[in-house]
């Protein structure tokens, strides 16, 4: 029996660059002690007050089918949050609650892409981006950014790739690079979207993790509110990764159609999870700051360590829970360095090539273990890289 091309070609075939991660997990399963600096999973789990709110809701009976668009309470809460942060009028009719940010990404592309259309995305990229675009039936088309530009995308590169495209996906603060897009960068992106009549899909799941600069939602820029779909999530801001609760914010007409899509696909998000999300969002900024604090602290710790050496380069670590380290002085690819590091020191990091080709020769380090172990691991990474660079110079 034949399967659809949409499902068999979802990941485009070939390696996805995640072999180091899977190898590290196999080694852990075999009993090896591995320091994992791979995926963006908080080392401090969901706050007990949020879990308590979830339990109370479930025990009070909110365990049946919830409203498919999301509960009025959570939609109103998300709308108020977005309006307060952006100044753009937002109501529940602009909000669809989804099973996590990934579901929101798929829904947004499904809303604006037809078969044969091109959906643009920036390289480096979060691993699911091209498959999400293909899953919506479109052709995934990447646009290279460069380390020399601190991975800030150039408007002219986007414009050059825009022929036949209907959408552009961006992510700021950015995973994997940790870069926060500047106002100049976002103004350039907005100008191309207006010129080329592109939908802008803005993945803003790290908007509470900004260490340097400011987070600007492109929905606030002139002429962009009616052509921007914002993806948000409870996962990173509130350490609720397993609760699977996110949203799409956009024009009312788009949200109305996405509610129809949700009726035929996910059929909503559990009510007790939504009640916990409402509680968490209404708990105030202190809770969010507490969840972000370890990553802010470790970023500062990393910068102090990296200042003491001259082999490993740091891409501006302005936001999110990652560092993108430049390992090109070692002469190895990111994948080669990550494999050697795992074999020699039992430290697992993600090769830059896991996120496309633009970050070749880099590795992504997740700041997701306690401070002392993180500092020790980063010093080991730097010493290992310095040794490789010295041997290369001596050859």
**pTM attached to this predicted model:** 0.96
Confidence (pLDDT) at 15: 57
Per-residue pLDDT of the chain (395 residues; tens, 9 = 90+): 999 988 988 887 655 668 899 999 999 999 999 999 999 999 999 999 999 999 999 999 999 999 999 999 999 999 999 999 999 999 999 999 999 999 999 999 999 999 999 999 999 999 999 999 999 999 999 999 999 999 999 999 999 999 999 999 999 999 999 999 999 999 999 999 999 999 999 999 999 999 999 999 999 999 999 999 999 999 999 999 999 999 999 999 999 999 999 999 999 999 999 999 999 999 999 999 999 999 999 999 999 999 999 999 999 999 999 999 999 999 999 999 999 999 999 999 999 999 999 999 999 999 999 999 999 999 999 999 999 999 999 98
| Distance of alpha carbon 318 from alpha carbon 178, whole angstroms | 6
Closest CA relative to residue 342, chosen from 28, 14, 16? 28
Confidence (pLDDT) at 126: 95
List CB contacts of 362: < 8 A, sequence separation 6 or more. Answer: 147, 315, 324, 325, 326, 327, 328, 334, 351, 352
What is the C-alpha R_g of the chain?
21
Which domains can be identified in the chain, with CATH numbers?
5-45+286-385 (3.90.1150.10), 64-284 (3.40.640.10)
| Distance of alpha carbon 252 from alpha carbon 239, whole angstroms | 29
φ, ψ for residue 326, nearest 5 deg: -90, 115
Concatenated DSSP letters of 192-253:
HHHHHT-EEEEE-TTTT-BSSS----GGGSTT-GGGEEEEEESTTTTT-GGG--EEEE--HH
Q: Are 203 and 229 in contact (CB under 8 A)?
A: no
Confidence (pLDDT) at 65: 96
Between the alpha carbon of residue 315 and those of residues 103, 120, 247, the distances in Å are 29, 23, 30
| Distance of alpha carbon 116 from alpha carbon 139, whole angstroms | 6
List CB contacts of 177: < 8 A, sequence separation 6 or more. Answer: 124, 151, 315, 322, 324, 359
How does 280-310 read in b/e, with b if 16+ C-beta sit within 10 Å? bbebeeebbeebbebbbebbebbeebbeeee
**How many contiguous H segments (helices) and E segments (strands) does the chain have?**
13, 12
Q: Are 121 and 174 in contact (CB under 8 A)?
A: no
List CB contacts of 249: < 8 A, sequence separation 6 or more. Answer: 78, 79, 82, 90, 94, 95, 219, 229, 230, 232
Confidence (pLDDT) at 156: 98
Confidence (pLDDT) at 16: 63
| Distance of alpha carbon 242 from alpha carbon 99, whole angstroms | 10
Confidence (pLDDT) at 316: 93
β-strand pairing of 139-144 with 95-98: unpaired
CA 106 distance to own-chain centroid: 14
CA 56 distance to own-chain centroid: 31
């Amino acid at each position: 029996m034949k399967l659809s091309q949409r499902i068999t070609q979802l990941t485009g075939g070939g390696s996805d660059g995640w072999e180091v991660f899977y190898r590290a997990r196999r080694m852990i399963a075999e009993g090896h002690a591995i320091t994992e600096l791979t995926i963006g999973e908080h080392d401090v789990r969901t706050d007990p007050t949020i879990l308590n709110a979830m339990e109370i809701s479930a025990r009070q009976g909110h365990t049946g089918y919830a409203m498919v668009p999301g509960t009025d309470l959570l939609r109103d809460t998300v709308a108020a949050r977005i309006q307060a942060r952006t100044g753009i009028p937002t109501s529940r009719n602009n909000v669809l609650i989804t099973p996590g940010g990934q579901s929101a990404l798929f829904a947004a592309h499904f809303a604006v892409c037809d078969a044969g259309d091109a959906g643009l995305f920036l390289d480096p990229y979060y691993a699911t981006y091209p498959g999400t675009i293909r899953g919506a039936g479109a052709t995934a088309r990447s646009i290279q950014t460069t380390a020399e530009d601190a991975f800030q995308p150039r408007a002219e590169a986007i414009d050059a790739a825009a022929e036949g495209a209907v959408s552009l996906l961006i992510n700021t603060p950015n995973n994997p690079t940790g870069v926060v897009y500047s106002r100049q960068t976002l103004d350039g992106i907005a100008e191309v979207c207006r010129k080329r009549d592109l939908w802008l899909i803005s993945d803003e799941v790290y908007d509470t993790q900004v260490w340097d600069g400011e987070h600007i939602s492109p929905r606030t820029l002139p002429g962009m509110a009616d052509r921007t779909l914002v993806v948000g999530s409870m996962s990173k801001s509130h350490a609720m990764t397993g609760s699977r609760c996110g949203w799409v914010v956009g024009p009312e007409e788009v949200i109305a159609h996405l509610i129809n899509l949700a009726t035929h696909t996910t059929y909503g998000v559990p009510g007790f999870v939504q009640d916990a999300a409402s509680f968490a969002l209404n708990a105030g900024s202190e809770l969010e700051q507490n969840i972000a604090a370890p990553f802010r602290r470790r970023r500062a710790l990393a910068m102090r360590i990296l200042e003491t050496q001259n082999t490993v380069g740091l891409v501006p670590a302005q936001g999110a829970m990652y560092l993108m380290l430049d390992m090109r002085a070692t002469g190895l690819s990111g994948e080669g360095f990550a494999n050697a590091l795992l074999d020699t020191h039992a430290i697992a990091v993600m090769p830059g090539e896991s996120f496309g080709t633009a970050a070749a020769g880099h590795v992504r380090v997740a700041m997701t273990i306690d401070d002392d172990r993180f500092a020790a691991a980063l010093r080991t990474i730097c010493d290992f890289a310095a040794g490789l660079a010295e041997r290369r110079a001596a050859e």
